[in-house]
A and B are shown apart, each in its own frame.
Chain A
Amino acid sequence: MSRLGLLVHVFGAALVVALLAIPLHARQQRAARAVLDAPVSATVARLPSGDFALSGSGRHLRHISLAEPGAAFADVVAGPDGDPAGGALAPPRDTFPEATP
C-alpha cells in the first residue's frame, strides 16, 4: 500500500471514530450538565422569566416573553424578531439614549 493510500485509510478510520464519538461525547456533556439542573432552575425561578439574556432586533429588550405586546415585530408571544440578521447585528450603540446622570 502506498503512503498516500495508508494516509487515506488512517484518515478514514479517524473520521469514522470521530463520528461515533460525537453522540457519546454529547451524552457525557448532558450528564455533566444534569448535575447543575437543580441550582440553575432554582436561580431562574427567582428571575422574571426563563428568557435568555439576549435581545432581538425589534425591541432591544430582554425578557422577550414579557415584552410589550405592541412592540414592533413582536408578532408572537416570546417571539424574537423574524429577521435573524437583526439578531446578529446590534443597533449602533452610539445612538442609545444616555441616562441623565
Chain B
Amino acid sequence: MSVDTTVSNEQILFSIRSKIDEILSKRQKKAEELRAKREKVFELGKAFTDAKSLYDIASQIEDDEQSELCFEKIDALTPNGKDVQNFISEIDSVIKRFERDYVSIATVGKERQGKSRVLQSIGNLDNEVIPAYKSTSCTGAVSVIWNDSSMPEGAVKAVISFKDVEDFMSTVNTYVQIIDPSMKLGFGDLTKRGISDKLRRIVEKNAGNLDMSIAFNHLKDIFEHFEEEIRDLIGGDDIILNEKETIKTYVAQNDGKSESDGCEHYYKFIAVKRADIYCRFYNDIGKVRLVDTVGLEDTKAGIEEAMLETVKNECDAAIVVTKPISGIQLPDQHLYDLFRENFADRDTSKWLFYLSNKQVGVNDSTAEAFAKEINETGMAIANRSDDYQNMVVDASDPDGLYRTFIIPMLQKILENFGEINESYVRRLESDGDELIRKLEESVSESGPLSKKGLDNGMGQQAFLKGKQCFNTMSAELSRQVMYWGAERNNPNGELFNRVKVILDNIYEMIPSEEKLQLMFESNGALLTDDVWKIALNMVRNELTDKFIEIDEVLEEATRRFKNSLVKAIYEELKSLIPETVVLSQNEDELDMTQWLNEAIKIIDVKPEYRQIIKAFRFLCSFEFNTRAQIIQTVRQQLYIINPICDEYAKPVFNFHKNTVGKEVNYYLTSRISVVEENIRSSLLNLYRTPNQAFYAAAEEFYDRLTFASDMDENNTLIDMRDIWGMFFQDFYTIICAQAAQQSIAIEQFHSKYDELIQSIRTKMAEFPFKSQGVK
C-alpha cells in the first residue's frame, strides 16, 4: 500500500472523492434492489400474519377436539411469522447501510492511544472540539466528525444530541446494581442525598472491591452534578453549537490541565448521546465521516459493546489506533479477537486497519516493532503488507498521516468496497436460506387436517352417540350416587350449621330484665305470673320462627342436589332441547328441573322411553321437607315452657312485683338452658335425614335411567343402553343439523387454511434471498 508519487496530492484526492461518489451511488442502487426484494419477503410475512384471521373461524367450531386441532394448526404458523419479521429487520438494517451517502470509518482502541489526536489531524481540529491530552482520559462522548468542504477553514459546527431518560437510567442502574443488586433507581431518585450516602456506605463496607469502587466514582459524578449540569439536558432537543469553547464543555471530561494547574472538569458529556461535528478536513477527502469511540479501557459501563455496535451498524471500516510500548500486548490481542469473533461473517482483512502511533522521540522503535509483529503474525487486517512502515505514523503530523496512512487506507477501502458490501448481501442470502428451510419444515408439518363431515351413516352415528351418552351419563350419575352414599351417614352440614346458629344465640331471645320489668310496670293489668307467661310465649314463637326458616336452607340444598343430577345428563342432551328453556340465570339461581320438564314434553313420544320419563318426573317432583319433623321435635322440647302442656314446668317460686323482670329472666334462662340441651340432642338424628334422602333420590334416578331394562312385546330384553341409542336415533335430525353446522365451520376452516398454505408456498418459491445453488 503506497501513494503514487508521480501524481499530485490534489489529483489523488480528486480521484478519491470521485471514486467515493461513484461507489456510494452504486451502493444506493443496490439499496433500491434490496427494497424491491424486501417487498416480497414482506408479502410472505403477511401471509403468516393472515393465519391469525383463521382463529375466528376455528372458534366457531363447537367440537372441542376439532376446534383444538384447528387452533394448534394456526399456532404452529405463528412463530414462522416472527422469524420472517426478524429477517425483514435484518434487510432493513442492510438497506439503511446501503442508503448512506458517505463512507463511515470508526476509530477504536484503548484509552490514551492517540485516537483523538488522529481525528484532530484528519479533521484539522483542536483540543476544544476533539480533546486529546497526554495524561488523562478526555473523550467524554461519542463524536462523529463529518468532512464538510463547504465550511470555512477552521470553522466548526457541532450538533449535540442527548440521551433519553430510559437510556440514561439504564447506564446509572448498571452502576447501582454493581454496588447493590437489589436496588433500582428512578430518575427522581438522583436528587435524593440519602441514596448516594447509602451506596457510599455499602462501598465502604466492601473496601477492596474495585468494581464497586469504580462504579461509585461514576455515580458520584452523576449524583453531584445531576441537578446543576445534567438533569435538564436529559431527553432534551438537539442543540447546534459553533463556539469551540462551548463545544468542549459538552464533549470533553476536562480541559486537559493538571489538577495543580487548576484543571477544569466538565460533566455535561454524561448527558450527551453523540456529537456530530462538521468541519473542513485537513485534506478534502470527499464524503467521509469519522466515528470516534470511547477508549476501551474506560471504566464506563458497556463501552466494549457500544464500540462493537457502532462499528457493526454505522461504519464501513475501522482503524485500531495503538501507541505501542512494546510488541503485541494481551489487550491488543483481546481487541483483535473481539473483532474476529463479532465479525466472523465479514472478512476483517477488507476493512480493519491498524495504525501504530509513533510519538517521535518517545516510542519510535516500539511503534515500528509493533507494526512488524502484526505483519509477521499474519493478522487478518486490511493494511498488512511487507512494507509495514505504512502502518507506523505520527498521529500529530497531519501531512504524514494523510500521506502514509489515510490516503492509502481510503484507496484500499474503495478497492474493497464492493466486497465489503457484498458480504452483507451474502449474509442476507445465507440467513434467507436458513429461514426458508425452517419455513418449509414447518409448513410440511402443518399437513392436511382430518376432515369431519356429514355422511350417510348419520342415523347409525346418532345411535352410537346415544350409547356413548349413556356411558358418560351413567358414569357421572354413578359418581353422584357414590358421593351421596358416602355422605348419607354424615349430618347435613347446612342444616347442622343453621341449627347451631339458632341454638348458639338462643339466650338472646330471652327478653332482658329491664324489658320485662318495664312491660310489667307499664301495664297495670298484668300480674307477675302474666309476665312469666308472656315471656314464655315470646321465646317460643321466636324460636319456632327461626326453625321454620330452616326450610329455605333445605329447599336450596334440594335445588342444588337436583341440579347436580340434571347436569350429568344435560351436557349430553342439551342439543335436543330448545335452548330457550335453560334460563340465562347465573349458576346460583338456576333451576335445572325446568329444563327437565321441557325435556319430558319433547321426548314423551314413545312407550320405550317410559323409564326415562319416569326418572325425569321423579326428579322434578322430588321434594324434601323437614319442616314437620323439625317443628315437631322443637315444639316437644318447648313443652316445659308452654303452660298449656302437661309437661309445663312452672318455677317453684313466687314472682315479686319489684323484681319480676329479673326473676322471670333468671328462671327463663334456666328453662332455656334445658330446652337448648334437649333440642341439640333430639335433632342429632335428624341432621342425617337430608343426606339420606338425597342418596335415595340419586340412587333412584341413576337406577331407573341405567338399569331399568324392559321387555318388548316379543318378550325380548331391551337394555337401557339400547333405549338411549334408539332415543338419539329418533332425534338425529336435530343432531344432524348441529353436526351440519359444525361441518360447515370445519370445511370453511379447511378451505381457508389450505388457501393460506398454498399462498405461503407460492411466496416461498419466489423468495428473493437465496444463496447460489439453492433453488
Chains A and B belong together in one complex: no
Where the two chains meet, the residues of A that have a C-beta atom closer than 8 Å to any C-beta of B are none
